[in-house]
A and B are shown apart, each in its own frame.
Chain A
C-alpha cells in the first residue's frame, strides 16, 4: 500500500477543511457570539496537522494510485473530515458530547441534515455557519474539490472521483479529471450563488440566505431555525427553495451540456432526467390528491405542501415546512418510497439514485420476459446505448446491499429501546439515504437528539455508507484493504 500518497491526500483534505472554516471564523468575528476561539482552534488543528502531511511527505511521481487505495482514501478521508468537522461544535460547547458533535458533523458533510441540536435560540452564529458550510463542502465532494484545486497531486485520479461521485459509472465532462472537477465546482458555485441572490431578493437577510443556499446546494437541510424553512412563512421563499432543491438533484453533467450549447435538449435527451421529472411530478400529484380531504378540499394548499415535501425528500435535502407526519398513510408511504429513490447520479443528493431504479426496472422486465422466452437475447439500453451486463449486476447488488444495510441499521437502532418500530425503520432509512427527517419520533417536528449513543453512532455510519455509496466504506472492513501490498 502506498502510505505516503494516502497521507498526502488526507493532508490535502485537512487543509481544505481548514480553508473551509475561514468564512465561519470571519462571521464569528462579525457577530461576536463567543465562538471565535472555538473556530480558530479547530482551524488551527486542521491546518497544523494537514499542512505538514501535504507539504513535507514526499511522494514518488511515478507511483500511481491504485483502485483499492482510491477507495480507502475516500473512506478514511470522509471519516477524518467528520472528526475534525466536529471540533467547532465540541469546542464552542453547543454540543459538549463527542458523539453528538460527530453525528452533527457527519450529518453535515454527508448532506443528510439530521440534527441533534435542540436549542436554536442563542446558537453561536459562526458555528451555525460552519454547520451549513459542511453541507456545501460535502455536497459535491471534498476529493473532487481536492482534485479541482490540486490536479497534480496524484496520477490516476479517476479512482478518487469514482469512489466519491454518486452513480453506477463515472461520466467525465472533459478528458482531464482535474479539469472535470473544476467545471463541476464552477457549476456548483454558480447555482449556489443564484439561489443566494434569489433568496436575498425574496427578502431574506444575507446570513439566512447564505445558510439556506448552502444547505440546499449540498441537498443537506440544516437550517438555522428550529422550524426550518417554515420560519420564513413565505410561499415565494418555499417555492424558490423547492425549485432549487429540485435543480440540485439533477446530474451536473447536464448543466455542463446545457451551457456548452445543447440548451434544454440536454435535459430532455437524458433518460435519467426524464425519469426523475416523471417520478417527482407523479409523486407530487398523487400526494396532493390523497391529501385533498385532509386539507378540506383546498387543492392549492395541498399542492404547495406536496411540492415542497416531495422536492425536499426526493432531493434528499430534508427541509420542512410542516409536520407532515400527520398526513394520511398513503402519502407517507409515497414519501418513504421517494426516500429510497433519491435523485440523479452525478448530483449532490443521496438515495439509490434514479438511474439505478431505472436499470432495476428494466432488468426486472427482462427477467419476467425471459421466463416465457428463455432463449431470447435482450440488451438493456439507457439513452439508447446498451448497458454492460457487469454494471447491471453491480446495480442489482447495490440495491440489495442498500436494503440489507437499511434493515441492519434499523435492527441495531432498535436496541436503543426508547422508540417504536416506525421510528427505527425510518431513522435508519433517512440516514442511509441522507435525507434528514424520518417519521415517528424522528419525524419532521423532532430530531435525533433523543436517541442514545448506540443509535447515533449507527446513524452516523449509515450516513457515511449512504453518501459514499456503500463500497468505499465496506472495503475498510475487509482484511485485504490493510495488506501492505
Chain B
C-alpha cells in the first residue's frame, strides 16, 4: 500500500479522497500498521537504501470488517462457529493504536428482508449532503485565517479554544475515560467529533448530547472479549 518511488501506493493515491479497505483484518498486519503514521501526519514517507521520498496523503480512511472469521459473532439469528481463540486472533489484527485513530466505529447488524423492503421514509443522500455542506460552511467560517479548514485539522492548542465543554460534559468525559478505558489519544479525537456533531446540529456550543454521541462512536475498543 505504501509502494515505491515511481509508483504511488494506495495511500498517496487517496490524497484528498477516500481510502476504503474492505475486510480490514484480511490485510497483512504490516500493511495495516503502515497506516498509522500517514493517518497522523497526513504524509507518507518511503525510505529506500539511498533516498527517502515524502508524499502528501490527506485521506479519509474507511474500513469494514466482520466481527469474527465466520461473520456471525454477536448475531441473534445465526450461530457463530468460531472459537474464542480464532476471534481473538482475527480482531487482534487491528491494533489498539490503529483503532484509536478511527473516530467513528459503528456496528451494523444483519438486515432482515422485511427491512430491505420497507418503505419507511429515511433521510435521502441529497438531504444529508445539504446538512454536511452546511456544517462544513460553519467550520470554514469559524477557522477563517487560522490556516485550517475543518474540525479534524484542529491542533491541540486550538482544541481548547473551540471545543469548550460545560462542567456537566466535562464530568461525563471524565467518567467515560475512567469507566470505558479510553486512551489519551482518544481524548482530542472525541472532542473533535463532538464539535462536528454540534456543527451538524447547528449548535454554537458542544452540548452533552453531542459529546455523548461522540463517545458512543468509540465502541469497538471495549467489548467483544467478554460476553
Task: Please indicate whether A and B come from the same complex rather than being unrelated chains.
Answer: no
- Report which B residues bind A (CB closer than 8 A): none
